[in-house]
Homo-oligomer: A and B are copies of this chain.
Amino acid sequence: MNPLYARISQSIDINRNAFAPLLEASSLSAILAPDEAIILEGDTVRSMFVIESGWAIRYRILNDGRRQILNVLLPGDCFGIRSILKSEADHNISAVTDMQFRSLNVEAFVDIVKKDDKLTSAFWWVALQEEAIFREHIIRVGARTATERLVHLLLELNQRVSIVEGGVSDFLRLPVPQLFFADALSLSVVHISRTFTKLKLMGVIEMAPGGIKIMDREKMVALSGFDDRYLNPTNFKLIA
């Protein structure tokens, strides 16, 4: 649960030991390969999950076979917490890279979290951040152009990865094909390719092995209207 702790401790003042009971009660999965499913629509889920390494996605398959990615799940991200109440999943979750997660029976999870106000806050924070990411995604696909969408998502990924890895890097690992961006941003693969080319020509990014290099962050921020406040919520007050 290191990545989870890394994320949460950025925003909430909490001791690493608080996570010990969760760590103890949970178990580590095998390593999944790309495209392996974890949760399928209609599944009855009775666990919560934390990603330890690799990327996964929440997505739905539409009638016409198209895949719409709802959210990217990075190390430290949680899913399945909804199963506290609702037991039938209404969307799928699959690995997109080699990936490993921890899981924990949701009853046990609730028991542990209820005993510790700090942990309660921590998981509220996790839920609220994911909601904020959902809202931002609505704006991204709803109100932005292709270029804006791609740049905005790249900056979000860069930021989210940085938080877990403990520092902003201008190299962004992208262990996914361009189809991933197409399905996440509601664009065609062809147009994703064109947009990457355009960004290279503009000099704001460069291709690097296994990812991209951010060459002109300021320009990217201006270009996409990226405002990272939704990822770095501040002003907390613990109510418990």
Q: Which residue of B lies closest to A88 (CB)?
A: B235
Instruction: Please report which residues of chain A, range 47-74, place their CB below 8 angstroms from some CB of chain B when the two chains form the complex.
Output: 60, 62-63, 66, 68, 70
Q: Given the complex, which residues of B lie within 8 Å of A239, measured CB to CB?
A: 84-85, 106-107, 110
When the two chains form their complex, are residues B137 and A82 in contact, meaning their CB atoms are under 8 A apart? no
When the two chains form their complex, are residues B139 and A142 in contact, meaning their CB atoms are under 8 A apart? no
When the two chains form their complex, are residues B131 and A82 in contact, meaning their CB atoms are under 8 A apart? yes
Instruction: Please report which residues of chain A, range 22-79, place their CB below 8 angstroms from some CB of chain B when the two chains form the complex.
Output: 44, 60, 62-63, 66, 68, 70
Which of A121, A135, A138, A235 has most chain B Cβ within 10 Å? Answer: A138
Query: Is A213 part of the contact surface with B, judged by Cβ < 8 Å?
Result: no
**CA of A234 to CA of B90 in the docked complex: distance in angstroms?**
11
Q: Given the complex, which residues of B lie within 8 Å of A175, measured CB to CB?
A: none
Instruction: Please report which residues of chain A, range 184-240, place their CB below 8 angstroms from some CB of chain B when the two chains form the complex.
Output: 186, 225, 229-230, 233-240
Q: Given the complex, which residues of B lie within 8 Å of A173, measured CB to CB?
A: none
Q: Which residue of B lies closest to A229 (CB)?
A: B90
**CA of A127 to CA of B128 in the docked complex: distance in angstroms?**
11
**CA of A44 to CA of B141 in the docked complex: distance in angstroms?**
28
When the two chains form their complex, are residues B121 and A90 in contact, meaning their CB atoms are under 8 A apart? no
Q: Given the complex, which residues of B lie within 8 Å of A87, measured CB to CB?
A: 235-237
